């Protein structure tokens, strides 16, 4: 696993042993960051299920101002810290903040809005849907902010207050893109 673009390009990241964790493939990651390229410079990012931190570190490499990394697993946080040290990014400095709590606790406790929220939960759970609902309820996206939900199947349904505006498939990975609904715009059925 490596960083594919920006100032840390080609740097190899520490990753998990075994098959329990599913990192985003380089092909899918490259496609995602090509889509997000113009949104990253100076962005405030939340990497909600950060794992090793690969997606959030890619954001920092490409010009994000701050990434809040969150993961419930202590093993994930240990690998994330190892990667931050290898890249000489101060832990809990201005660029990288670490939270080691359940995603719902993180979403309840974070302050301010984000330009980008990355949601890459374990595929076997629907944590992403609950996360999107909480993001909408708390108004955690900036006016032009984007939430990206990564999973193994297309997104079906609606999230009150958010608009699904794009979805892309790369191999077995689907990226679904959400933004705030315009004021006065309502979900059907309301």
pLDDT, tens only, 18-57? 445 557 778 899 999 999 999 999 999 999 999 999 999 9
Does pLDDT of 116 surpass 60?
yes
Structure tokens given for 39:
């949104």
pTM for this model (two decimals): 0.92
* Structural domain count, the chain: 1
Establish if 41 belongs to a structural domain.
yes
Establish if 188 belongs to a structural domain.
no
The lowest-confidence range among 129-133, 150-154, 180-184 is: 180-184
Query: CA-CA distance, 185 to 163, in Å (whole number)?
Result: 10
Does pLDDT of 122 surpass 70?
yes
Average pLDDT value for residue range 152-162: 95
Domain that holds residue 80: 26-180
Does pLDDT of 16 surpass 80?
no
Alpha-carbon distances of 133 from 23, 72, 104, 109, 158, rounded to whole Å: 24, 19, 10, 15, 10
Establish if 21 belongs to a structural domain.
no
| pLDDT for 19 | 46
Establish if 2 belongs to a structural domain.
no
Establish if 16 belongs to a structural domain.
no
The CATH code of the domain that includes 114 is 3.40.50.150
Establish if 8 belongs to a structural domain.
no
Structure tokens given for 164:
């699904």
Establish if 54 belongs to a structural domain.
yes
Establish if 165 belongs to a structural domain.
yes
Query: CA-CA distance, 166 to 104, in Å (whole number)?
Result: 25
| pLDDT for 124 | 84
């Amino acid at each position: 696993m490596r960083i594919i673009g920006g100032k840390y390009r080609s740097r190899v990241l520490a990753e998990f042993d075994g098959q329990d964790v599913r990192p985003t493939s380089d092909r899918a990651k490259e496609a995602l960051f090509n889509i997000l390229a113009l949104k990253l410079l100076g962005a405030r990012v939340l990497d909600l299920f950060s794992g090793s931190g690969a997606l959030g570190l890619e954001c920092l490499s490409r010009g994000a101002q701050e990434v809040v990394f969150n993961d419930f697993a202590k093993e994930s946080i240990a690998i994330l810290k190892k990667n931050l040290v290898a890249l000489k990014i101060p832990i809990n400095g201005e660029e990288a903040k670490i939270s080691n709590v359940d995603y719902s606790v993180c979403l309840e406790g974070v302050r301010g809005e984000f330009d980008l929220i990355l949601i890459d939960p374990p595929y076997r759970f629907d944590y992403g849907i609950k996360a999107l609902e909480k993001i909408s309820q708390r108004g955690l996206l900036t006016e032009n902010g984007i939430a990206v939900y990564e999973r193994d199947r297309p997104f079906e349904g609606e999230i009150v207050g958010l608009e699904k505006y794009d979805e892309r498939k790369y191999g077995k990975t689907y990226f679904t893109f959400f933004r705030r609904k315009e004021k006065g715009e309502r979900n059907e059925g309301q």
